[in-house]
Structure 1
Amino acid sequence: MPDGAAPLPGRPPRCHPRRTRVGAAAAWAVACLLAGCAQPPAAPTVSAERLERFATAYMQMLPVGPVMASAAAQDARWPLGDKADLVSDAQLGCMRQALSPQAVAARQRQSARDYALAHPDTLDADLRVLEDGAARLIGQAMLAGAERSPAAALAGASATPQQTQALAAFATEPRYADLRRATGLDALIGGGQQRAESGGRALGQALLVRHMTEAFLTCHIPVKLLY
């Protein structure tokens, strides 16, 4: 430095805003981990055992497969009857296969699984009301309707108080509304056991039509032949 020259001012330290931001974020993350930041609650899970139990109860309540198997065994032209002449043998065979107990059971199990996975919070209550007797009584009422037998002879006469209460709860309580809608039995709201039994017989026919409509579409048969 020349004599008499003023000293140069010191250079200010360089700022690194990006490093500062990254460092602050890292510090916050560490502090969050140490302090235990609030985490969103984990979604309820549905075990394979509960899925299987629900599917079993679901199929007991909606015994569509056995009803169709009985009808198919009695008539080689079922489900078209006199209209079987309007379709090919292959189409009729496709219909009967699509409505076989195995095919119907597969669709019902998938429907039950979809419902259970979509309603994990209420699945325990749904399982309880079905297994306590609602599934058995409604299913027997549907079988009685298909066989044109008095429902009371199959269901009501042998129902225990617990089963009767479960049926009334399923048919009337708002907390089971989603389950009623999912099974197609929402028309059972109100009226208690007697309404549910008679409604179960009538709705059995509606459920059969639903499955047959799907089979018509699968086998490329005009749905108008169903009516």
Structure 2
Amino acid sequence: METITLVTGGNKGIGRETARRLKEAGHTVLIGARDPERGRTAATELGVGLLPLDITEQASVDDAAAQVRADYGRLDVLVNNAAVTGVVTPLEQTTAEDAAAALDANLLGALRVTNAFVPLLRASQHARVVNVSSRVGSFAATLELDMFDWRVVPPLYAITKTALTMLTLKYSRALPGILVNAADPGYTKTDLNDGQGTQTVTEGSDAIVHLATLPDDGPTGILLSRDGSVAW
């Protein structure tokens, strides 16, 4: 039976590479894209399906879920990859409006999409949810690695990823039978960091692909990098 997989924000960066690799692994891949033109270009180049999807708009999310239901009747793998950097300013100069916009995309976007697709995931025999989080949202890593310089790790971005990792943990308990995990791509060269990352998108997608293809007895509720588990 084919594996139906959705990668949000799949038209560029780590999302695009994840889509490419999962298609190569035999999945029937759909990419969600907010920009229709970029989405069509990427879908054509990758040979995958396209879902118009703005994770900050409930109607768009609901329409995407309805389309997958009509076309496939289920979803086997959901990769919540779409995200924004948010403002790159010291925390004391960050406004509540700035924070709300970043949380709307990076936390509530994953919530909207996951909740809309839960009925379709429950129709799968081997459902997987992968939330693309980050080590910069880990309390342990922040303390250990002294990640307090806002010029390297924007504090607002880190806060949204902390929240996303906790959301992952809560979903892993709330959705028995579905493996729900978070991936830490590492510092990967993408538009989110203006190409300053030190890893390739292939390296950055390693943990995501691994979690998307877990066996049925695989873990749930963990944060994983390409080097292994990341402490909370």
**TM-score class, shorter:** under 0.3
Comparing both structures, which one devotes a greater share of its residues to strand? Answer: 2
Greater helix fraction, Structure 1 or Structure 2: 1
TM-score under structure 1 normalisation?
Answer: 0.25
Computing the radius of gyration from Cα coordinates, the structure with the larger value is: 1
